[in-house]
Structure 1
């Protein structure tokens, strides 16, 4: 469960960073501002009133053709959906906000939009879309120096790691968020990170420590009157009671929380509480009450598309119906639960379904046997006669099968001995020939790798020599020319031509220095690999019409990789970008580096003209393959003419 700081949602205008001219304080602007204030006052306590105010706000903004006010109102509706669990409307209104802000060429509010969009996708269980939008949030937050949104993104990324039970990385991201909140003096944000730290302790089973943190948050929010957060804290406290087996105590706490949630109409959280109430009633043996709670939770889950909770509810209902020997309904609900969760163990699902299905079919067979007994009125003697006949037939059949198997095994053994005698000499000869081929192949591969290594070492030495020549020769000459020209024009009258010449000389110095660094960069441990690669790509973007986006995840871990590996990665990306500039005719390129446990993954996508796989490959691609052959990496190319190209490369870390 993700919480946003109060400063993040109380005033939509502040979050988006959009202000209106003070000279426009007429009647219409006063109405719009009053609707904004009504929304801010009721967003945590009376969401229905807040929604009505936001809808009226949106309507009036469009009537008056106030685009900035329209963006604020759309964002308010999206944010409200994220709070109340109406995630479909969150996605709808937030995408409209993003489109309008981009149309107005306003970047300052985009980080906040991508943050709530990612949170909505996370709540719907669409984690790849969620992490993509969090990365967009971080990108825009850094571009606009918005530390609040950067901290919010880190905090929510931490909740994704928590769902994967990676508590260490979750805590690391929360630490990043807390440091940013402290830097900007956002005590409310620090308090929210404390809530999420308590969630980690709860998942780890450290309930006493978790309760301490939850109580701190609860005391503060009760004073503040924030009913939403009070409800979230009580849900987590109740869930710990359920795990500890204190079901009676948990039911009392959950019912109190349910009343609070129904008051503010937070439907998605109501579904969670109803599910927990069902679990408690089930453990206490109150099957009918448990089924009733699960059915109510399921109805809300269907409406809100809460896949992760629907799965739990389906399986809980299946277990309850199984206890009542209603295997038909048990099978029906378990199948629904299985299909709604893709990451469950398929073997366990099949075993459980088969178990229920066998019991259900056994129940049907027993009913049929009883019906046949009544209709045909078979006597006990006749049934025994049938059993004896069946046993006799089984004995005859088993004897025939055993005799056939014995004869077949004898023939197979004789055939095997015969084949072994015929092929013994031939197999020995083939084995010797194969050994010779393997030895020759190994020698060829070793020689080929040695040639590739010497060739690449020669390339690096030549690049280093050229870099020195350019830096010490041309670079020094240009620097001297620049100094001489500046000395010459120092006492001259300023004119546009002199300024253009000075700017041209300065640009030439920058280009020569950049070319020198590209040919032979400093050790990446000193300059930071991701920063260096980003600067290289930014320079290419400035010199061409192509748009290149870079993604590093996680950035800090990539910078800590070995110099040799990072050098290979840099040369590979450099070759791929140069090939795209020369041949692809692309307008957009994505470069993504992701560090995994045992390898570095590089993905480069472009929207260019593509190429045929069977076409003769150029020197650049051949150099990449030779470099990957040296480090035992892999290369995969997905391209067709007219449909762009996607290249995926994996380089082993160890």
Structure 2
């Protein structure tokens, strides 16, 4: 999805301060062009650095040299050093380019707040330069950042803004119109608005006729194919994505090739060709890793999780899904989201203040001209107008200050809430680590000790051996339950897909443990994949099913156990039915049923238990999402 690296082709003409090249500039150009001797020329150039301008020139070439080699840490080091010098020298165009390429480094790392900060600085420089093309491009870059951060509404907003800026320009550059349309389309696509996405992608097919660069066809074709894929039009999608693949192989764009192969793998497994899907996933993973894009690595993991789920390999599916969540959680959290909001607010505030200051300056200048022309004839009237204008500006300034105070108050309240949430999350993480590191390790030690004891008591009677085995099994089960509890505690919310995989794994493990019992697990296909539970809700649902199945296995001697989950009008229904011995519901309930009742109450749901001796048991739990 990442489009062309613009401005690289014109780099050498733009990285020279003056028309007459100095010895320093000649050496720096050689250092950049001749990679094998790069260090030699940089060393020679370093000896000629005498002024601040020379230092800026040297660091500028050094930044692009290491950035071309994808040396991330070195690139960021030189970026920080050169930008401070370029700011002092007021070298706006160079400053804009460094900010732009620095933002791309952070974007590939998934560090969206730094990427947004970089592109906003590049945009500010472009606005000061009055460079319409770059203003449009950098608004498209912001649309890409918000797309990767999954704020699709903002992404569409900035994409449309970028298109409007270039469309109103006297000299239209159709490449930037295509880029803007592309950002609008991909945001609508992942916003699950395929018709809107296809509208902008097909609009680009018309604009492509006005540019002379096949690279643009590659990402336009792929994005059309991606939207058709989500609409399950696999044949059409495969055809156009393969066209994109041919073009991207010529350009050798790792990010775009990773996207192509991920889409082709998805089509393959949806059509039932699992062997081809695995082959495509290998290619997708290879190019995703080479691209070093967190967003693309994350996309491949998600598709692999769904692939293994479809093939019935729930263990691999869960592993991939958990890898996906670990990577996603490293990028998306409340603190980072707040930083992005703060950066956006800061940028918009500064822009408004600059615009207001410019407007005031222009207004004052015009008023001064009017006053000079009419002083002799309208002196008295001019004084009244000036005082009226000052009063009006003062009144507006007071209103602006008041609005700012209101906003600051709201921001402080929001920050206090976020700080409280962060402290709660830290406490949860600390408790889960303590459970895992202390209790988990102690339980594991107990199992090891029991196994050693059994080995040492080879001649012990069957009763002692059976008791030790029972204790070991009980402790192992406790570890599994502890891991489930830690899994729930580490999440602010649990997705329906994640919970479904957990339940499926539990049912599958029960089937392996007792092959004499017929297990059935049915899920209503109409349940939306967007459903989210709180960690407490998810754990309660899982434990209710676990408790009911364990009761049926341990006490009811059931030969058939079925679990079904459905959803209607935002109400979840969970039913566990067995054909076991049953029991008299009027008698005092055991711990298992009491636990089910308590967890249902925690869900604020309704519990129904129907059972009689010899006719099995039917448990139904209903609760609102």
User: How high is the TM-score relative to the length of structure 2?
Assistant: 0.49
Q: Pick the structure with greater CA Rg.
A: 1
User: How high is the TM-score relative to the length of structure 1?
Assistant: 0.47
